[in-house]
């Protein structure tokens, strides 16, 4: 018997694959879990989508009821057989807190390959690690102050009015059907972060366009929707004469010039002779970023980093909040009894002809509970991912109480869907039950992350969402366009059961709403 070259190569490949697999498995300490062909975040893993043999990007949602061995394991591992790195995932609140408590001590790391999509424009607060991150955080976080939140209220009211005028809904008693409602909160949230964080006068209708006819908002939407394909598809493909590719290319370069112009304009404002007082008056995120280009080494940002932060904050600041607003309205339209409770609360706190104040918004606990409950079901920040720069020891409870060492170099993913659909922490996780937030203190609301790197936009998002929801629900009674063929339960299962990435945030799929003017 002789060995052909082919069989030798095949044998070598199989051996190498087995060796690679065993090595990867050992590195995660033989923690049980999934052994798919491709890692969820690899090219093939993502391309094949979520199906029974391939987790793909959306497995935490599609498999949310049974993942983590039906939540009997606090920690699982994913070791791909063919391509992509292995990782460890947790569905336990307690384990998540233990891991992130190490953030201060061991400097967990955000791996470049995971945040690559956010680095395309430059280093920034969300993507950076270690001392780099500390510098970005020190510059950006203090820009959000009580003055910002007062402005958020003012601008949400103004934008709501512009929306009502701009949408031009009929004024009679008819039901108005709004298909794919999310486009409205998405536009609202973009306008708000643009106006309140960056001082940009972005209108609801007739926003200025660039030479390709794209508005800033349109470019940003196209860019966030194409970040992941762009990382995968080779750049020469975009030079082919295909219309879709040309639009994508124009959106990317258009967004770049928009952001460059914002920086230049603010630079002139800060360093021109005429209006130096404006800088102090504004004190928004953009002012702090641009001022950081001219400070001493320790807190300096270069122009690329300023642009990187603008992109990141524009995205983090709008797609997340918008997705949760839409989900909240979807649930309240289905659960009309909850909507009536919210309506009663709003009517009690805000006088009929008054605009809500910041203080009013702090007195709407039931509306806040509905917002939190929707965010629990669809956590917009879908995974908190870190690489360990040191071994850490954690205590787990399930399947048995024990300590577990996670090795240096391990990729850890805190699965926010699994965490917030874990029936041990949230009984009946599939049910929309705002009352479960009644006794929970703000500190224990976990959807904005934990510890030193928790969300800086939490209050921004609360103020904006509560203000918009209060205005909207005061004026409109909402229901869902349900057919006679379907029960509400089935409708909820079908429509609200669809979710996935919207741009770079996670959220509910298309939701249509029926609106009727309240008298
Ligand atoms: C519903 C709304 C939002 C949700 C669910 C959300 C969720 C999160 C989560 C889970 C993290 C932690 C990520 C990690 O540790 O890896 C985070 C970080 C962050 N969020 Fe939000 N966020 C929301 C709104 C906002 C808004 C409105 C802004 C900006 C105005 C914002 C800006 C940021 C920034 C800059 C970080 C990074 C902080 C750091 O690494 O130091 N977010 N967010
Ligand atoms: C999880 O529960 C489902 C039924 O709800 C069952 O069919 C399945 O076998 C369970 N899986 C494990 C790993 O226990």
Question: How far is 425 from 447, CA to CA, in rounded Å?
Answer: 13
What pLDDT does residue 30 have?
83
Ligand 2 atom having least distance to the Cα of 66: 1
What pLDDT does residue 92 have?
97
66: CA distance to ligand 2 center in Å?
A: 6
Residue 193 phi, psi (nearest 5): -65, -35
The residue with greater pLDDT, 503 or 143, is 143
Ligand 2 atom having least distance to the Cα of 72: 14
With a CB cutoff of 8 Å and minimum separation 6, the contacts of 236 are: none
- Binding site membership of 423 for ligand 2 (Cβ less than 6 Å): no
Helices (H) and strands (E) in the chain, counts: 22, 12
Token couple for 76: 């699982």
317: CA distance to ligand 1 center in Å?
A: 8
What pLDDT does residue 273 have?
57
Mind listing the pLDDT tens digit for each residue in 478-497? 999 998 899 999 999 999 99
The 8-class DSSP code of residue 109 comes to B
With a CB cutoff of 8 Å and minimum separation 6, the contacts of 2 are: none
The residue with greater pLDDT, 425 or 279, is 425
Ligand 1 probe mutation, 141, 155, 284, 457, most atoms within 8 A of CB:
457
Ligand 2 probe mutation, 70, 73, 418, 429, most atoms within 8 A of CB:
70
Which ligand has the minimum distance to the alpha carbon of residue 386? 1
Mind listing the pLDDT tens digit for each residue in 164-177? 999 989 877 789 99
- Within 10 angstroms of residue 229's Cβ, the number of other Cβ atoms is 11
Question: How far is 271 from 375, CA to CA, in rounded Å?
Answer: 42
162: CA distance to ligand 2 center in Å?
A: 50
Mind listing the pLDDT tens digit for each residue in 349-361? 998 889 999 999 9
Report which protein residue has its CA nearest ligand 2's atom 14: 69
* 279 band by pLDDT with thresholds 50, 70 and 90: very low
* Lowest mean pLDDT segment, chosen from 176-180, 316-320, 392-396: 316-320
Question: How far is 139 from 291, CA to CA, in rounded Å?
Answer: 10
Which ligand has the minimum distance to the alpha carbon of residue 34? 2
Mind listing the pLDDT tens digit for each residue in 221-244? 888 888 877 776 677 777 788 888
What pLDDT does residue 456 have?
96
* 443 band by pLDDT with thresholds 50, 70 and 90: confident
3-state secondary structure 7-60: HHHHHHHHHHHHHHHHHHHHHCCCCCEECCCECCCCHHHHHHCCECCECCCCHH
Ligand 2 atom having least distance to the Cα of 69: 13
For residues 276-282, give the mean pLDDT: 54
DSSP 54-106: B--TTHHHHTTTTHHHHHT-SEEEE--SSBS--EEEE--HHHHHHHHHHHHHH
What pLDDT does residue 2 have?
62
For residues 292-310, give the mean pLDDT: 90
Token couple for 57: 């990007």
Report which protein residue has its CA nearest ligand 1's atom 17: 455
Share of the chain above pLDDT 70, in %: 97
For residues 183-194, give the mean pLDDT: 94
Mind listing the pLDDT tens digit for each residue in 426-437? 999 999 999 999
Report which protein residue has its CA nearest ligand 1's atom 1: 321
- Classified as helix, coil or strand, 211 is coil
Which ligand has the minimum distance to the alpha carbon of residue 66? 2
Pair 37, 44: CB distance under 8 Å:
yes
Report which protein residue has its CA nearest ligand 2's atom 7: 66
130: CA distance to ligand 2 center in Å?
A: 41
* 382 band by pLDDT with thresholds 50, 70 and 90: very high
Q: What is the mean pLDDT of the chain?
A: 90
The residue with greater pLDDT, 492 or 11, is 492
DSSP 454-468: S-S-HHHHHHHHHHH
- Binding site membership of 69 for ligand 2 (Cβ less than 6 Å): yes
What pLDDT does residue 281 have?
61
Report which protein residue has its CA nearest ligand 1's atom 39: 453
Identify the residues whose C-beta falls under 6 Å from ligand 1.
Answer: 125-126, 137, 193, 313, 316-317, 320-321, 324, 375, 380-381, 384, 447-449, 453-457, 460-461
447: CA distance to ligand 1 center in Å?
A: 9
* 247 band by pLDDT with thresholds 50, 70 and 90: confident
289: CA distance to ligand 2 center in Å?
A: 51
For residues 393-404, give the mean pLDDT: 95
* Lowest mean pLDDT segment, chosen from 198-207, 337-346, 442-451: 198-207
- Binding site membership of 70 for ligand 2 (Cβ less than 6 Å): yes
61: CA distance to ligand 2 center in Å?
A: 16
214: CA distance to ligand 1 center in Å?
A: 27
């Amino acid at each position: 018997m002789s060995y052909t070259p082919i069989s030798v190569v095949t044998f070598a490949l199989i051996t190498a694959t087995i060796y690679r697999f065993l090595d990867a498995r050992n590195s995660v300490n033989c923690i049980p879990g999934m052994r798919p062909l491709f890692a969820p975040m690899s090219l093939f893993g993502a391309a094949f989508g979520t199906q029974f043999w391939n987790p793909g990007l959306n497995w935490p949602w599609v498999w949310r009821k049974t993942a983590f061995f039906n939540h009997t394991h606090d920690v699982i591992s994913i070791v791909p057989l063919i391509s992509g790195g292995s990782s460890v995932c947790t569905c336990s609140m307690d384990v998540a807190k233990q891991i992130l408590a190490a953030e201060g001590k061991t400097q967990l790391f955000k791996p470049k390959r995971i945040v690559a999509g956010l680095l395309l424009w430059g280093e920034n607060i969300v993507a950076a690690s270690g001392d780099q991150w500390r510098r970005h955080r020190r510059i950006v976080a203090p820009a959000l102050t009580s003055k910002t939140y007062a402005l958020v209220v003012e601008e949400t009211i103004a934008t709501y009015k512009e929306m009502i005028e701009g949408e031009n809904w009929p004024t009679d008693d008819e039901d108005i059907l709004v298909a794919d409602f999310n486009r409205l909160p998405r536009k609202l949230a973009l306008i708000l972060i643009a106006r309140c964080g960056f001082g940009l006068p972005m209108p609801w209708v007739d926003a200025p366009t660039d030479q390709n006819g794209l508005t800033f908002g349109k470019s940003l939407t196209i860019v966030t929707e194409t970040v992941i394909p762009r990382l995968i598809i080779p750049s020469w493909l975009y030079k082919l004469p295909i219309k879709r590719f040309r639009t994508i290319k124009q959106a990317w370069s258009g967004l770049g010039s928009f952001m460059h112009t914002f920086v230049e304009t603010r630079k002139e404002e800060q360093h021109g002779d005429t209006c130096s007082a404006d800088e102090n008056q504004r004190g928004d995120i953009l002012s702090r970023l641009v001022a950081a280009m001219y400070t001493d080494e320790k807190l300096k940002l270069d122009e690329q980093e300023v642009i990187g932060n603008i992109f990141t904050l524009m995205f983090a600041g709008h797609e997340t909040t918008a997705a949760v607003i839409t989900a909240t309205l979807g649930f309240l339209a289905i659960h009309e009894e909850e909507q009536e409770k919210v309506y009663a609360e709003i009517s009690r706190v805000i006088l009929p002809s008054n605009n809500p104040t910041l203080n009013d918004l702090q007195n709407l606990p039931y509306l806040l509970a509905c917002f939190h409950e929707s965010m629990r079901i669809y956590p917009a920040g879908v995974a908190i991912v870190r690489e360990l720069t040191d071994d850490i020891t954690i205590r787990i409870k399930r399947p048995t109480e024990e300590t577990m060492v996670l090795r240096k170099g391990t990729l850890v993913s805190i699965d926010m869907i699994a965490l917030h659909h874990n029936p041990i922490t949230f009984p009946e996780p599939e049910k929309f039950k705002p009352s479960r937030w009644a006794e929970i203190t703000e500190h224990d609301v976990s959807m904005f992350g934990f510890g030193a790197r928790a969300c800086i936009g939490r209050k921004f998002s609360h103020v904006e969402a509560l203000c918009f929801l209060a205005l909207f629900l005061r004026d409109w009674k909402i229901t869902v366009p349900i057919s006679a063929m379907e029960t509400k339960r089935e409708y909820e299962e079908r429509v609200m059961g669809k979710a996935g990435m919207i741009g770079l945030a996670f959220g509910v799929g298309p939701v249509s709403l029926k609106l009727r003017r309240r008298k």
